Amino acid sequence: MSARDRILAKLKAAPNLPKPEPDVAAWFAGHRPVENTADKVARFRKCIEFAHAEVHAVTAITWLPKLREVLAARQIDKLLVAEETPHGNAALDELPPQGIECSTYDMPIEAWKTEMFHATPASLTAARAAIAETGTLILWPDAKEPRLMSLVPPVHIVLLDSAKIYNTFYEATQAEGWKDSLPTNALLISGPSKTADIQVTLAYGAHGPKELIVLLMGDEQ
Amino acid sequence: MNAQPIHFKPSEGFRDRAKAVVDNPFLRQSFRGAMDFLMSKRAGQFPDVEELESLRTLGEQIRQYNLGKLPELLVRLEENLTRNGIQVHWAETPDEANEIILGICKRVDAKLMVKGKSMVSEEIELNHAAEAAGIGALESDMGEYIVQLAGEKPSHIIMPAIHKTKEEIAKLFHEKVPGVEYTDNVDALIQIGRKVLREKFLEADIGLSGVNFAIAETGTLCLVENEGNGRMCTTTPPIHVAITGIEKIVEQLSHVPPLLSLLTRSATGQNISTYFNMISSPRKPGEKDGPEEVHLVLLDNGRSQAYADEQLRKTLQCIRCGACMNHCPVYTRIGGHAYGTTYPGPIGKIISPHMLGLEATATMATASSLCGACGEVCPVKIPIPELLMRLREESFSAPHPNPAMRGQGAGYNGLVSFVWRAWATVYRSPMLYGLATWAGSRFSWLMPSSQGPWTTVRTPLKPAPKRLRDMLKERG
Amino acid sequence: MSSVQPATPHPTDIYFFATCVVDQFFPGAGMDAITLLERLGIRVHFPEEQTCCGQPAYTSGFPDEARKVAAHQLTLFPNDWPVVVPSGSCAGMMKHHYPTLFAADPARRAQAEALSARIYELTDFLVNLLDWQPQDTGGECTVVLHTSCSARREMGVHLTGRKLLGGLGKVTVAQQDHESECCGFGGTFSIKQPEISGAMVEDKVKALKATGAERVVSADCGCLMNILGHAAWKDAQEGRAQPSLPGEHIASFLLRRTAR
C-alpha cells in the first residue's frame, strides 16, 4: 500500500462524524453591511493608508501626471510597465518623452532576472478590484502583467478603479465567481512589504516593495 | 544547522529548561513585553464581542465541517490540483516527506532551496535532511533567517525570533554576514537581510513553502504572509514545493474569507496580512514567470491518530495563529524553546503528543494551570484545557490495549494512582472524610513546615483548628 | 454570560456547598458567606455529608476517581433549591463538568444536568438572583479584587464581584496589571511545575501590591491560598512582621463592610 492509501485508510476507519455545513453567507449578511461607493472608497483608503500605502485620487486625465509626479518625487526615471494593457500603453506613449524610461516585461523572467532584481526601481500595474473592509488590492497577474511586477521592484504603483471596490473579500469572490475561474496566481495586497520580526518593531520593505502607491481613479475627493 | 536530534524527548529536562528562563529576568521581561504587545494588538481587532464570538463560532463550524469530510476532501483536492498541473505527494512520516522533497531536489540537481515560513518543514526537520544530502536550505522569513543564522530554532510559530533582542541580532549579522558592520537599527538590519536574501532568491533552484489553506473545490494553495518572501519562494525559483499537514484543507473557497480574517486578527492583530497568495497552477504556456513545476506534499505524522478520536480530533481544527501562546501565562514565563517541541505553547502541548508520542511529551500536558486563556482566544474554539486534561488521563492511566494514542500510560505510576484511589475512597465517604479532616484540624501542628514544591515560594499549608462544619455545629 | 435564571426570582432556601478548601482551610470565609446569606433572609442548608466536588482528581487526569467523589455529591441536594458555592472553580466543576463526567451513565447524567442548572457561584447568586445592593457602613478603603480563572472564563461571573464591591460607597477598587491573568495555582500544577507556578504567583503578587491596595479579596480560596501563601513567604524572606498583602474571601469583606 502507498502512503496515500495508508493515510486515507486510517482516516476512513475513524468514526464518521458529519457536521452541519457552515452558513458563511448568512454571517456576512448579518455582520458586514453593504456600503455605497463613497463609503467603500473612504474605508479602503483609511485601511490601506494605515498599512503605510500612499493613495492619490486621480481621474482619467490626471493619473499620468500624478504618476510622473510620484516618480519625480522619488527621483525615479525608470518604470516597468505592461504593454498590451491600456494603462501600460498610455505610460509608454506619454512618459518617455518626459524623461522616464519605460521598460516592458516582454520576455520570460529567466532571460532578464538579474535586470529585474537589480535595475528595476519601480513598476506600474493595474488592480483588478479592491476590498474596502481590509484596504486590499486584488491582482490577478497574467501573461501581460506577470507576478513579479508587483513583488520585485522597490516601488509598486497600482492603478485602481474606485468603482471596483467590494465591501469584503467574500463579496469579491462571490460576485466575480472566483471558484470557477481562479488564475495561476491570485493575489491580495494590503500594503508595502513589512516585518516585525525584530523585537516586534515594524519595518517596511522586507522582501517585496518598500513603497506601495495607489492611484485611485474616479475618486472625487 | 544545530538543532535537536530528531528523536529527542521534549519531556526530559523540561523543568530545567523552564527554570532557566524563569530565572532569567531579561528573557522574562522580553517575552512579557512581546506577548503584551500581541495581546493588545489582537484585542484592538475585536472591539465587538458579538462579532468576535459569532465569527469564532463560524470558524469552528467551518473547521469541524471540513474535518468531518477530510478523507473525501483530500481526494478531491488531489484530483483538482492534479487537473491544474500541481503534483501531489503523500507522506506518512517526516522521513517520507523529506525523501519526497529531497527526491525532487536531486532530480534537478538542486544546490539551493529557499524556504518561506513553514512550521511543517520544521516539524520534519527538513533543513537537517537537506544539509545531510548536500543541499543548501535557506530560511528567508526574516525571523527564521535570524534563527537559522544563530543555529537555533523558532521560539514562536508566528514570531520565530521573538526571544532575541535587536542588539543580539546586530551582533549576529555582524559576525555571520560577510562585510556587515554592527548596527542595531532595525530598518538597517532588515535591509541587510533583504539584500542577502534577494541574491539567494535569484540563485535558488527550489522554493519551499507551507500552506495556510488548501481549497479542495478549486485545487488552490493559499499562503498568508507580510514580508513577500513567501511570494518570492513560490514565484522565482523554477520549482515550488509546498508542504502541509493533511488537516489544513477546506472544501470551498467561501470558507477561506472567515478563516483568513480570524487568522490574521488573532495572530498579529492585523485586519489582513500584507499578502494573501493563492496558487492554483504552475506557470501556464505564455506566462512569463512563476515556477514550471508545483508540488504539494501532504503530511500525516500523527494527525490521523488525533483524527481517530472524536475529542482529540478537535486538535486538528487549529489554523496556527499562535494566539494561544500569546495569551498563555506559562508560555509568557518560559518562552518557546523550553518546550523542546516544534510547536510550543498550548497548541504544542496538544498536537505534539500525536507527532512524537505521549512517552516523549507527557510532561508538557502537566505544565498548565488550566486557566483557560488559550481556549478563550482560540479563533476556532479548540477546547485546549479539556484536551490537556484528556492527555493527562491518557498519560497517567495504566497501559491498556487499543489505546487512543501512542504512548498511552507512559506517565503511569502505580503509587500515584494508588494515592488518587485512596483519595477517592476518603472523599466519597462522609465518614472517612469527616475523620480525615477532623484529624487534620486537630493535628495541624503536625503539618511539616517544608511541603515540597509548594513551600519553595509559599508558606506551608495548615488546616484551620476548626472546620466549617465544626463552627456550624457550635453555632447551633 | 452569567447564569441569570428567571425560575426562582427570590429563593427562600438554598443549599450551601462549602468546598473542601473552605471547610478545612478557610472555614471563616464559609461562616461569613452563610451569615451574609442569612442576613439577606435566606435559609441556608448545609448538607453535612458534603465533601469535595472532585475537581482535584478531574484536572489531574483521574476522571474515574473524580466521578466516584462527584457521584456522592449528586445525592446531597434533594430539594429544588439553588446550590450556592463560594468558589468559581468548584462551581465550574459542578456546573460544567459534571454532565460530561457522567456522559456515559444516563441516570446520573440526568441528575448531574439537573444539579448543574441549580449551581450558583456566590457573587453571581448575590447579584443576579438576589439583586442585592450592599449598603456600605465602613470607612474609606482601597481593595484589589482577584477573580479566579474558572469564575472568569468557565462561569462568566467576573463582573459580579466587581459589581458588589463597586456598590460599596467608600471602597475604591484598584485595578491591577494583567488582571485577567492566572495566579499560577492550578491545583496540582503548583506541585508539578513549581518553577512556572512560582513565577506566575510572584508576578501576580507584585501586580496586586503595586496597586497600593490595603488588601486583596477574591471569591476563590484556592487562589487566595496561593496568593496569600506567596505574599507571606515573601514577607518572611524580607523580614516583615506585618503582612504586606493581607487578603480574605469576598464574603468576609462584604459581611464586615455591610454590618449594621
Segment B24-75, tens digit of pLDDT: 999 999 999 999 999 999 999 999 999 999 999 999 999 999 999 999 999 9
Closest CA–CA distance from residue B369 to any residue of chain C (Å): 4
- Asked if the Cβ–Cβ distance from C63 to B393 is below 8 Å, we say yes
Burial string for B98-131 (b: 16+ CB within 10 Å, else e) reads bebbbebbeeeebebbbbbbbbbbbbbbbbbbbe
pLDDT (tens digit per residue) in A43-86 = 999 999 999 999 999 999 999 999 999 999 999 999 999 999 99
Q: Say what the pLDDT of residue C1 is.
A: 40
Distance from CA of C85 to the nearest CA of B (A): 14
Is B370 in the C-facing interface, judged by CB distances under 8 Å?
yes
Query: Which residues of chain C register pLDDT less than 70?
Result: 1-9
C200 with B375: Cβ contact below 8 A: no
The residue among B42, B457, B470 with the most chain C CBs within 10 A of its CB, best to mutate, is B457
Residues in chain C with CB shorter than 8 Å from the CB of B420 are: 57, 60, 62, 65
CA separation for the pair B389, B368 (Å, rounded) = 10
Nearest to B22 among C58, C195, C229 (CB): C195
Q: Contact A138/A190 with Cβ under 8 angstroms?
A: no
Rounded Cα distance between A7 and C58, Å, is 34
State how far the Cα of B462 lies from the Cα of B178, in Å rounded to an integer: 63
> What SS3 state is found at B361?
helix
Return the C-alpha torsion angle A24, A29, A32, A33, nearest 10. Answer: 170
Residue among C31, C71, C154 whose CB faces B468 most closely: C31
Which CATH code for domain B61-304?
3.40.50.10420
> Are B472 and C196 within 8 A, CB to CB?
no
Instruction: Give the model confidence (pLDDT) of B388-415 as tens digits.
Output: 999 999 999 999 999 999 999 999 999 9
Q: Report the alpha-carbon distance of residue B81 to residue B298 in Å, rounded.
A: 12
Identity at C35, one-letter amino acid code: T
For the stretch B241-250, pLDDT in tens is: 999 999 999 9
Interface contact A195-B226, CB threshold 8 A: yes
Domains with residue ranges and CATH for chain A: 32-192+203-217 (3.40.50.10420)
Average pLDDT, chain B: 95
Please answer yes or no on whether A148 and B159 come within 8 Å at the CB atom: no
By DSSP bridging, strand B213-215 and strand B220-225 are: antiparallel
H or E stretch covering A58? strand A54-58
Sort out which chain A residues have CB atoms less than 8 A from B275's CB and list them. Answer: 187-190, 193, 208
Res B476: pLDDT? 78
Sheet with strand C43-45: strands edge to edge: C43-45, C13-16, C83-85, C119-121
What is the tens place of the pLDDT at every residue in A3-23? Answer: 999 999 999 999 998 999 999
What nine digits make up the cell of C247? 487578603
Partners of B468 on chain C (C-beta within 8 Å) are: 18, 22-23, 27, 30-31
pLDDT for the residue B116: 97
Q: Tell me the pLDDT band of A182, cut-offs 50, 70 and 90.
A: very high
Inter-chain touch A3–B91, beta carbons under 8 Å: yes
For residue B8, the model assigns a pLDDT of 64
Distance of CA A134 to the CA centre of its chain: 12
Q: How long is chain C?
A: 260
Q: What is the 3-state secondary structure (H, E, C) of B243-300?
A: EEECCCEECCHHHHHHHHHHHHHHHCCCCCCCEEEEECCCCCCCCCCCCCEEEEEEEC
Chains in contact with B, where contact requires at least 3 CB pairs less than 8 Å apart: A, C
- Alpha-carbon gap: B119 to the closest alpha carbon of chain A (Å): 16
| CB contacts, 8 Å: A214 with chain B | none
Q: CA–CA separation, C185 vs B62, rounded Å?
A: 35
CA–CA gap between residue B463 and residue C27 (Å, rounded):
9
- Rounded-to-integer distance, Cα B295 and Cα B87, Å: 5
- Chains B–C, number of C-beta pairs less than 8 Å apart: 187
Q: What is the pLDDT of residues A150-180, one digit of tens each?
A: 999 999 999 999 999 999 999 999 999 999 9
What is the rounded distance in angstroms from the CA atom of residue B426 to the CA atom of residue C51?
A: 9
Per-residue pLDDT, B446: 83
Instruction: Name residue, grid cell 430539594.
Output: C79
Rounded to whole angstroms, the Cα distance separating C237 from B329 reads: 25
Asked if B373 lies within 8 A of C149 by C-beta distance, the reply is: yes
- Asked if the model's pLDDT at residue B125 lies above 70, the reply is yes
Chain B CB contacts of C195 below 8 Å: 15, 18-19, 22
For Cα atoms B233, B172, B166, give the angle at the middle one, nearest 5 degrees: 90
For chains C and A, having 3+ Cβ pairs within 8 Å is answered no
Residue B16, phi then psi, degrees to nearest 5: -65, -45
Hey, where are the domains in chain B?
61-304, 414-475
Q: How confident is the model at residue B447 (pLDDT cuts 50, 70, 90)?
A: confident
CA B140 to CA B137: how far, in whole Å?
Answer: 10
Which of A11, A107, A134 is opposite residue B271, by nearest beta carbon?
A: A134
What cell does C68 get?
A: 466516584
| Separation between Cα atoms, residue A9 and residue A13, nearest integer Å | 6
For β-strands A155-161 and A211-217, DSSP reports them as parallel
A189·B274 Cβ contact <8 A: yes
CA B169, chain centre distance (Å): 24
Alpha helix segments (H runs only) across A24-168: 24-31, 37-50, 63-73, 86-94, 113-118
More confident residue, C74 or B8: C74
Assess contact for A102 and A91: CB atoms under 8 A.
Answer: yes
- B203 phi and psi, to 5 degrees? -85, -30
Q: Would you state the pLDDT for residue B445?
A: 84
Taking the C-alpha atoms of residue B433 and residue B424, their distance in angstroms, rounded to an integer, is: 10
Neighboring chain C residues of B330 at a CB cutoff of 8 Å: 193, 196, 200
Chain B, 399-438: which have a CB under 8 Å from a chain C CB?
417, 420-421, 423-424, 427-430, 433, 437
List CB contacts (< 8 A) between B188 and chain A: none
Mean pLDDT of B424-451: 93
- With beta carbons less than 8 A apart as the criterion, state whether C205 and C227 touch: yes
- Determine, for residues B371 and C72 on separate chains, whether the beta-carbon distance falls below 8 Å: no
- Mean pLDDT score, B296-306: 98
- Going by the DSSP 8-state scheme, the letter that residue C247 receives in this structure is E
- Candidates B31, B168, B203, B275: best to mutate against A (most CBs of A within 10 A) is B275
- DSSP β-ladder status, B86-91 and B293-299: parallel
Distance in Å, alpha carbon of B308 to nearest chain C alpha carbon: 19
Is the reported ipTM for this assembly greater than 0.90? Answer: yes
Please report where in the chains the cell 459580579 appears, as a residue: C160
The predicted pLDDT at position A14 comes to 97
CA distance B43 to chain C (A): 13
Interface mutation target, options B70, B167, B192, B226, chain A, most CBs of A under 10 Å: B226
A84-140 tens-digit pLDDT: 999 999 999 999 999 999 999 999 999 999 999 999 999 999 999 999 999 999 999
Note which residues in 433-462 of chain B have CB less than 8 A from chain C: 433, 437, 440-441, 452-459, 461-462
**Cβ contact (<8 Å) for B22 and C198?**
yes
Report which of B264, B83, B280 is spatially closest to residue A147, judged by C-alpha positions.
B280
pLDDT at B1: 35
How far apart (Å, rounded) are the C-alpha atoms in residues A124 and A122?
A: 7
Determine what percent of chain B is predicted with pLDDT higher than 90. Answer: 95
User: What pLDDT score was predicted for residue C87?
Assistant: 96
Reading the block at residue A132, the C-alpha cell is 474596502
What does the alpha-carbon distance between residue C113 and residue C103 come to, in Å, rounded to a whole number?
10
Q: Which residues of C touch B367 (CB under 8 A)?
A: 189, 192-193, 196
User: In C, which residues are within 8 Å of B455 by CB distance?
Assistant: 233
- Please report all neighbours of A, defined by 3+ CB atom pairs within 8 A: B
B56 Cα to chain A: minimum distance (Å): 11
A220: confidence class by pLDDT, cuts 50, 70, 90:
low
Which residues sit opposite B131 in a β-bridge? none
Name the burial class of residue B417, with classes exposed (0-12), middle (13-18) and buried (19+) by CB atoms within 10 angstroms of its CB.
Answer: middle
Q: Measured between CB atoms, which of C54, C56, C153 is closest to B376?
A: C153
Grid cell locating A119:
535595475
Q: How far is B220 from chain A (nearest CA, A)?
A: 8
Question: Does residue C213 contact residue C143 with C-beta atoms inside 8 Å?
Answer: yes
Give yes or no for residue A221 having a pLDDT over 80: no
| Dist. CA A126–CA A87, nearest whole Å | 8
Answer whether residue B5 shows pLDDT above 70: no
Residues 6 or more apart in contact with residue B141 via CB below 8 angstroms: A197, B115, B116, B117, B160, B225, B227, B229, B230
Dihedral sign from CA coordinates of B43, B45, B46, B47: positive
Nearest CA in chain C to B392: C61
Q: Which residues of C touch B375 (CB under 8 A)?
A: 153
